[in-house]
Every structure is written in structure tokens, then in C-alpha cells.
Structure 1
Amino acid sequence: MAYNKTSLLFNLLLLISAFLILSMAESRIPVAKSSPECESVVGVVSGDTCSGIAQQFGLTSELFSSVNPNINCDALFVGQWVCVSGTA
């Protein structure tokens, strides 16, 4: 089968178009972010602070914050559960 220049150019453009469409589709696939995994929790008691709990359990403030992403350290309340062991 003999191809003329127009057919060859058309097939090349078709191949490039397919490649671009696939690469754009792959870039729109959301990448799942890992969520924190908690292994152990404690209940807040009167006088507790985030930094005090972190220090008591040998955690850095960064690790404490990462395993407790929804904790507002300025508004801890007695009985609130906080994670003291886990992975971010």
C-alpha cells in the first residue's frame, strides 16, 4: 500500500492529537492524598494544652498537628479526644 504525503501527514497529526488527549486526561486524574492514621488517643483533661500533650507523649509539635489536623489548640475542651500516636 502506498501512502501519499497527505495521508502520512494526516496520520501523524492524528497520532499526535491522540497523545495530547491522553496526556491531558491523565493529568486530570486526582492523586489521593494520604490521610493521617491514628494508633492511640487520649482524652483532654483540665489544664491540658496541645504543646503539653505533645511533650508528654514525646511528639514534635509538627507531628502532633499532622495527626490531629482538625484540632483547634486554642479551644481544647475537657473530654476531647486527641491522637498521640500515629502517622501523618
Structure 2
Amino acid sequence: MAKINNKAAMFNIVFMLSLLLIVSMADGRGKTLQCDKVVGVQGGDTCLGIIQSSNSTTATFVAINPNLNCSALFVGQWLCVSATFN
């Protein structure tokens, strides 16, 4: 039987809810997002660790990295850590 990581499960739920909220808020604004800074994923990196090291918030990270699967990060993957709306 697989062991469930409660912290990871809670993070994924918060992550998805934040994404839905941000997408619904940004949908009607007509603004586009431009990534200003990216980082490459390294061995052992997690979304939470990248969020913390970039002094970002989960909501911002989710908004600037749509369709990101934090459970399947891979070495060399580029993630946006800073962006502006145009």
C-alpha cells in the first residue's frame, strides 16, 4: 500500500485552488504575462523550495507557471520566478 504524504497532498490542493482563482481573476483582464526571470530545476528541487528561494508566493508562482506539475519536476526544466503583466 502506498504511503500518502499529507504535506504534499495539501500543497497540491492549495496549488490547484490558487491556480483556479488566479486564472478566473486574470481571464477578463486582457493582460498578458511576461516572464522576467527563470531558474533551471536542479536535482532535489521542489516547487515549494523554489517558491521560498525566489521570495515568491504560491499564488504568484502558480500564475506564472500554468500547467506545471510539481510532482513531476525534472532536472533542466525552466520555471518562471518573476513576471510582469503587460
Instruction: Describe the SS at the equivalent of 2:36.
Output: strand
Letter in 2 for 1:60: T
TM-score normalised by structure 2 residue count: 0.60
Q: Which residue of 1 aligns with 2:79?
A: 82
1:53 aligns to what SS in structure 2?
helix
Contact 1:40 1:83 in 2 (8 A): yes
- Give the 5 Å matches for 1:10-49: 33-49=30-46
Cα distance in 2, alignment partners of residues 74 and 34 from structure 1: 29
Give SS of 1:74's match: helix
1:35 Cα offset (Å): 3.2
The CA RMSD over aligned residues, in Å, is 1.7
User: Which position in structure 2 is the counterpart of 1:60?
Assistant: 57
- Runs of 4+ aligned structure 1 residues displaced above 4 Å come to none
Q: Which amino acid aligns with 2:50?
A: I
User: Is the radius of gyration larger for structure 1 or structure 2?
Assistant: 1
- In structure 2, list runs of 5 or more residues that go unmatched: 1-27
- Aligned-residue sequence identity (percent) comes to 52
Tell me, which stretches of 5 or more residues in structure 1 are unaligned? 1-30
Larger relative contact order (CA 8 Å, sep ≥ 6): 2
